[in-house]
Amino acid sequence: MSYLDKLLQGVEVEWKTLGEVAEIIRGTRVTKRDLISDGIYPVVSGGTGFMGYINQFNREENTITIAQYGTAGYVKWQNEKFWANDVCFCVNPNIDIVENRYLYFYLINKQQYLYDISNRTAVPYSIERDKILKLPIPIPPLAIQKEIVRILDKFTELTAELTAELTARKKQYSYYREQLLTFEEGEVEWKTLGEILIKSYSGSTPLAGNPKYYENGTIPWLRTQEVKFSDIHSTEIFITDFALKDTSVKWIPSNCVIIAMSGATAGRSAINKIPLTTNQHCLCLEINTQKANYRFVFHWVSFNYENIKNMGQGARGDLNSSMIKNFKIPIPPLAEQQRIVSILDKFDTLTTSISEGLPKEIELRKKQYEYYRDLLLTFPLSEL
């Protein structure tokens, strides 16, 4: 912080509009018929991804783009040569006045402002070039701009390294999970999930809008959208004691393997680390610990997500209790189950935990980057 204070202390900043320091060039139309499956250059329409690929480019690498339609106002840095489509604005700065990368960071810092000045009264959303060009831009000396860029690029680099590490660890996790949960014929005993249960539970949805069921509720109530291949320590919604007495909602003991049975969430699994209640689209499996380790069961059903999901029926692909309880599971000795769980739990924490693993570290780095970006790019606004 002392270094940043010295860096910005007494710096003279001139304010100009974006139109005074850069031009905005609209891309050239490309249709889906022009795309090539093995094309070299991405076609950018301004959004988060690419429209496809062709074998020509009309913009060089290291170009700032702003979406004109759809995700109107979305700012992105293009690392490679690309084709700018006609719904994509490209920002071409006067580098004698403003650093290209400095301008990018400033526009990113004003991302919400660009969203706010876009037209959101009609679909698709759109943004006018003239409105973007009127955006005030602080212009410190070029040497200061370069140093700000160096600092923010370092934060970006750290986040990218952590993200690459997370990707590598996820691949490693996937490999070891497959190795540990693959058994040869005759190597282990196979049972159905129903054969290793003490009991299975479902739930109910108290009538929405009834304050007697929800107002000042203290009982955790789980919905399928909260079942995300992880431990559950809290729920987004709580119900009342009256709801528990007046409806078919029931308490579920902790450490059940919960499987979502409905629509888009069907087949997803989780473990409740607290006693809770659920809606009718969750099936909760209380595992007999004399027969199986509940975390081993969780890892098995998570590993078999696609297989379980594909059992779904009807237009929504819904599952039911019988389907899940008849699903087969290998049962190695309890000591071997525990060994497998210990390994997979470590990978799971490293790759998915928002409180301990790499995702937490990445989130902290992003917040740190955003904090310093805002600090470095906030100057007292003077008259244009």
Count of domains forming the chain: 3
Q: Which domain holds residue 256?
A: 189-331
> Do 170 and 230 belong to one domain?
no
> Do 60 and 42 belong to one domain?
yes
The CA radius of gyration of the chain, in Å to the nearest whole number, is 27
Q: Report if residue 358 sits inside a domain.
A: yes
Q: How many Å separate Cα 135 from the centre of its chain?
A: 30
- Report the C-alpha gap between 232 and 282 in whole angstroms: 13
> Do 375 and 314 belong to one domain?
no
- Residue 93's pLDDT is what? 97
Q: Report if residue 228 sits inside a domain.
A: yes
Cβ contacts of 108 within 8 Å, gap of 6 or more: 75, 373
pLDDT at 167 over 90: no
Containing H/E element for 188? none
Write out pLDDT tens, residues 248-295.
Answer: 999 999 999 999 999 889 999 999 999 999 999 999 999 999 999 999
Most confident by average pLDDT, 6-10, 40-44, 310-314: 40-44
- Report the C-alpha gap between 215 and 289 in whole angstroms: 37
pLDDT at 380 over 70: no
> Do 196 and 323 belong to one domain?
yes
> Do 72 and 162 belong to one domain?
no
Q: Tell if the pTM clears 0.85, that is, is over it.
A: no
DSSP state of 27: -
Whole-number average pLDDT of the chain: 90
- Report the C-alpha gap between 111 and 89 in whole angstroms: 15
Q: Report if residue 204 sits inside a domain.
A: yes
pLDDT at 299 over 60: yes
pLDDT at 237 over 80: yes
- Report the C-alpha gap between 253 and 284 in whole angstroms: 9
**Closest by CA position to 303, among listed 197, 180, 194:** 180
Q: What distances in angstroms separate CA 73 from CA 48, 65, 87, one per listed residue? A: 11, 9, 11
> Do 273 and 287 belong to one domain?
yes
Estimate the crossing angle of helix 334-352 against helix 358-376, to 10 degrees.
Answer: 10
> Do 161 and 199 belong to one domain?
no
HEC secondary structure over 97-136:
CCCHHHHHHHHHHCHHHHHHCCECCCCCCECCHHHHHCCE
> Do 295 and 346 belong to one domain?
no
Give the CA-trace dihedral at 34, 35, 39, 45, to 10 degrees.
110
> Do 36 and 131 belong to one domain?
yes
> Do 228 and 296 belong to one domain?
yes
pLDDT at 303 over 90: yes
Higher pLDDT pick, 3 / 359: 359
Q: Report if residue 6 sits inside a domain.
A: no
Q: Which CATH number covers residue 93?
A: 3.90.220.20
Q: Report if residue 10 sits inside a domain.
A: no
User: What's the number of CA atoms in the CB half-sphere (13 Å) around residue 371?
Assistant: 8
- Residue 129's pLDDT is what? 94
Write out pLDDT tens, residues 31-68.
Answer: 999 999 899 999 998 777 899 999 999 999 999 999 99
